[in-house]
Amino acid sequence: MSKLVSIVVPAYNAAKRIKSTLLSIAAQDYENIEIIVVDDGSSDGTGDLAENVLRRSGRDYRIIKHESNMGVSAARNSGFGSTKGDYVIFFDADDMADPNFVSVLLDAVTKNDSDAAFCGYRIRLENTGKEPMVPIELDSSRHYSAEALTAMYIFKRIRPGIWSTIFKTKFLKTTGLEFTAGCMVGEDTEFLTNAFSRCGSIGFSTACHYIYVQHEDMVSKTTRQTPDQSIRRYADDAGAVCRAAQYLAEHAESPKLRDIAMNFMLADGLIKTLNVAARQRDQEKFCRLVHVPETRRALMASLLMSLPRKLDIFIKAATLLLFPRLYFTIRSK
């Protein structure tokens, strides 16, 4: 019997686009799927619209409703808790995919009985119709260890999205991995980093079968942000990086990944945290954090590892160590 694939779709006020999204999922050439929509406290009828679309789709489905908006992380966790599938994909409510998206990912993850697999994606610019590709730039004839692929992801040499990745359900449940509830930015990168670091093996397809849709509502949300909201989002991202570094330091079996966590990722997260203090013009907090011995050790350790890989991290770490007041002045403007 074919494996069941669960597709979790967190949705908040997504009525404008969720019909196209769900029809795209329903049109997959892989038959054995279940679609789980988590209506995260929407006020625009998203849940009812999803129900109407899926009732006619011929696919197995469930609608989970949150009484209030809890955020994408909590919605994904709720959806995952309801899955019955052998594999799970977290699909965004305003995106689409080619009809062979699921079958390609399933082939990649089952080929070597991997714990996860990913593919590339296309960015559909809704206002122009253009679709620039973000392929997985790897040699499909080569074998890459999970350790190597995780390191490539951390250093941004490959750029899979949470939505272009399939996971073995048993793997996620055994490791106890969840999205960090309340985190609005960086939660997907944190989850992927943590998950990849625990995988025994990771499969991939170089093709771009997921369609990441960029639309005017995304831009309007960004432009409507207050300075405090912008700083909150940046702080969430900083926290996600720091948590991922700590997770890898505690749970990754690979010494190389633990080394990367403590000698690169931690510094990256601390730099972002210092940037938050500077943007808040909180000089006392900035000075207190930058002079903590643990912070200075992390920044020092990152110099050697970041130089050949991430020059911007090297420059920021060096400036913070040598000229912290200048750094604060520049970042607080």
Q: Give the model confidence (pLDDT) of 137-163 as tens digits.
A: 999 999 999 999 999 999 999 999 999
Q: Are residues 132 and 208 in the same domain?
A: yes
**How far lies 206's CA from each of 117, 142, 203, 214, 274, in Å?**
11, 12, 10, 22, 37
Q: What pLDDT is stored for residue 161 in this prediction? A: 96
Q: Are residues 290 and 321 in the same domain?
A: yes
Q: Are residues 216 and 251 in the same domain?
A: no
What is the distance, to the nearest Å, from the Cα of residue 184 to the centroid of all Cα atoms in its chain? 11
Q: Give the model confidence (pLDDT) of 50-66 as tens digits.
A: 999 999 999 999 999 99
What is the distance, to the nearest Å, from the Cα of residue 145 to the centroid of all Cα atoms in its chain? 21
| CA distance linking residue 243 with residue 317, whole number of Å | 19
Q: Which residues contact 120 (CB under 8 A, 6 or more apart)?
A: 133, 134, 135, 136, 160, 164, 205, 206, 207, 208, 209, 210
What is the distance, to the nearest Å, from the Cα of residue 176 to the centroid of all Cα atoms in its chain? 17
Q: Are 301 and 259 in contact, with CB atoms under 8 Å apart?
A: no
Last residue of a domain, one of 200, 221, 242: 221
Q: Are residues 47 and 146 in the same domain?
A: yes
Q: Residue 2 has what DSSP assignment?
A: P
Last residue of a domain, one of 221, 236, 267: 221
Q: Model's pTM, two decimal places?
A: 0.94
Q: Are residues 11 and 148 in the same domain?
A: yes
Q: Count the neighbouring beta carbons within 10 Å of the beta carbon of residue 244.
A: 25
Q: Are residues 189 and 272 in the same domain?
A: no
Host domain of residue 173? 5-221
| CA distance linking residue 40 with residue 9, whole number of Å | 10
Q: Are residues 211 and 232 in the same domain?
A: no
Q: Are residues 56 and 199 in the same domain?
A: yes
Q: Are residues 215 and 259 in the same domain?
A: no
Q: Are residues 167 and 306 in the same domain?
A: no
φ, ψ at 63 (rounded to 5°):
-115, 120
Q: Count the neighbouring beta carbons within 10 Å of the beta carbon of residue 299.
A: 23
Q: What is the mean pLDDT of residues 313-332?
A: 96
Last residue of a domain, one of 202, 221, 240: 221
- For residue 190, name the pLDDT band (cuts at 50, 70, 90): very high
E strands of 187-322, at which residues?
202-214
Positive/negative CA dihedral, 21, 24, 26, 29: negative
Q: What pLDDT is stored for residue 235 in this prediction? A: 94
Tell me what the pLDDT averaged over the chain comes to.
94
Look at the chain and report how many structural domains it folds into. Answer: 2
φ, ψ at 129 (rounded to 5°):
85, -5
- Residue 220 reports pLDDT greater than 60: no
Q: Are residues 21 and 141 in the same domain?
A: yes
Identify the CATH number of the domain in which residue 29 sits: 3.90.550.10
Q: Are residues 217 and 230 in the same domain?
A: no
- Residue 223 reports pLDDT greater than 70: no
Q: Count Cβ neighbours within 10 Å for each residue of 130-160 and write b for 16 or more, e otherwise.
A: eeeebebebeeeeebebbbbbbbbbbeebeb
